[in-house]
């Protein structure tokens, strides 16, 4: 009797487990047809970005954009165009990125879709900054600077960097304050952005503190695979060391930044980059 009861209980337990596994295994989604090619191109592009193979990623995102235009799918045109511009910027072609953003904006405009306006504006501002058009970079990034989402927070960084190069300390303090308003626990990257803006503010007044901040920023950027940000932080640290009277250290930091930049230009694919990208 007890054995029968235990046997029945085991069967019921097995069935219950099966039901739980199947029910909690994921929700059944009704996929739109014809999206596999777009999804595959986007995923392949993402994988290539993780491996820092920007030319491969560019090819995949171009294919994704082509498919999205074929589908006349505004949301996906925006995503593919945005990703394409981001990898072009990462690959060291800000002029191409700028052109891509303009093209994507035109594609979305004729479809009356403005959902990607902030993301595209962020990339445009970053491209302007990379091209040395600081006034345009500040003007583009400033309206999107906010504490509410990662796009707004990153726009604060771009605007702050451009303001520093323009010597506009008011705008730099303004965006720095916005970043400080983020209420939830900041991620390491957000922390690095905050510290970088703070270091820029303190560069003229407290060079030693700026040096420490910049070094911490460089460490965080290195940890999360943002090598361009790391190189920028190393240069900032070199400037701070120079102002603090530590010439040898400044030269050493400058050399490190140069070497990093050179390695980046040589386009050596680096493995083991964080998947946070």
Partner 1 sequence: MFQVRFRQQAGSLIRLRYADEWIGVLVLISIALFVGAVIEAGVLSDWLSPPIRLNVVLPKTGVGGLTTGADVQILGAHAGTVRRIKLNPSGDMYAIVDLDPQVEPFIRRDSRAVIRKQFVVAGASYLDLTRGYGEPMDWSYAVVDASPEANPIDTITKTFQDIHDEILPMLANARDLTAQLDGMAKDIRAGKGSVGQILTDDRLIRQTEETIAGLHDVIQRLEPIEKQVGSVLGKADVTMGNMSAATGDLRKASPRLSSVMKSTDESLKELPALLTQARASMYSLQKLMIQLRGLWILGGSSTSDAGKRLPADAVQP
Nearest to 83 by CA among 107, 54, 106: 54
Q: Is 39 in the site for partner 1 (CB under 8 A)?
A: yes
Q: Is 236 in the site for partner 1 (CB under 8 A)?
A: no
Number of H helices, E strands in the chain: 13, 0
Q: Which residues touch 273 (CB under 8 Å, ≥6 apart)?
A: 50, 51, 52, 225
How would DSSP label each residue in 100-114?
HHHHHHHHHHTTT--
Cβ distance to partner 1 smaller for residue 25 or 167: 25
Q: Is 42 in the site for partner 1 (CB under 8 A)?
A: yes
Choosing from 98, 226, 237, 238, the residue that interacts with partner 1 (CB under 8 A) is 226
Task: Report the distance separating Cα 258 and Cα 275, nearest Å.
Answer: 26
Sort 16 into a burial class: Cβ within 10 Å, 0-12 / 13-18 / 19+: exposed
Q: Is 79 in the site for partner 1 (CB under 8 A)?
A: yes
Choosing from 107, 157, 238, 240, the residue that interacts with partner 1 (CB under 8 A) is 157
Q: Is 83 in the site for partner 1 (CB under 8 A)?
A: yes
Choosing from 8, 75, 148, 204, the residue that interacts with partner 1 (CB under 8 A) is 75
Interface residue list for partner 1 (CB under 8 A):
20-21, 24-26, 36, 39-40, 42-43, 46, 49, 75, 79, 82-83, 86-87, 89-90, 119, 122-123, 125-126, 129-130, 137, 149-151, 153-154, 157-158, 161, 189, 224, 226, 228-229, 276-277
């Amino acid at each position: 009797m007890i054995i029968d009861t235990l046997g029945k209980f085991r069967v019921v337990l097995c069935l219950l487990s099966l039901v739980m596994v199947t029910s909690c295994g994921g929700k059944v989604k009704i996929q739109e047809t014809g999206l596999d090619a777009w999804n595959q191109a986007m995923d392949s592009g993402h994988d290539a970005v993780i491996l820092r193979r920007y030319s491969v990623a560019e090819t995949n995102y171009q294919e994704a954009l082509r498919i999205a235009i074929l589908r006349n799918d505004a949301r996906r045109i925006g995503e593919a165009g945005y990703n394409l511009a981001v990898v072009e910027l990462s690959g060291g072609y800000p002029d191409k990125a700028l052109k891509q953003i303009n093209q994507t904006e035109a594609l979305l405009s004729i479809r009356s879709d403005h959902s990607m306006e902030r993301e595209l504006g962020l990339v445009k501002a970053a491209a302007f900054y990379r091209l040395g058009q600081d006034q345009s970079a500040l003007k583009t990034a400033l309206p999107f600077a906010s504490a509410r989402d990662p796009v707004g927070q990153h726009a604060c960084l771009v605007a702050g960097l451009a303001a520093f190069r323009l010597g506009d300390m008011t705008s730099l303090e303004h965006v720095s304050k916005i970043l400080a308003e983020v209420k939830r626990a900041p991620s390491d990257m957000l922390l690095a952005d905050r510290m970088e803006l703070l270091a820029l503010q303190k560069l003229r007044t407290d060079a030693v503190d700026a040096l420490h901040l910049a070094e911490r920023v460089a460490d965080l950027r290195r940890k999360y695979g943002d090598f361009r940000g790391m190189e920028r932080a190393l240069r900032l640290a070199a400037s701070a060391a120079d102002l603090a009277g530590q010439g040898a250290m400044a030269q050493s930091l400058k050399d490190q930044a140069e070497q990093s930049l050179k390695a980046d230009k040589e386009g050596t694919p680096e493995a083991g980059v964080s998947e946070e990208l």
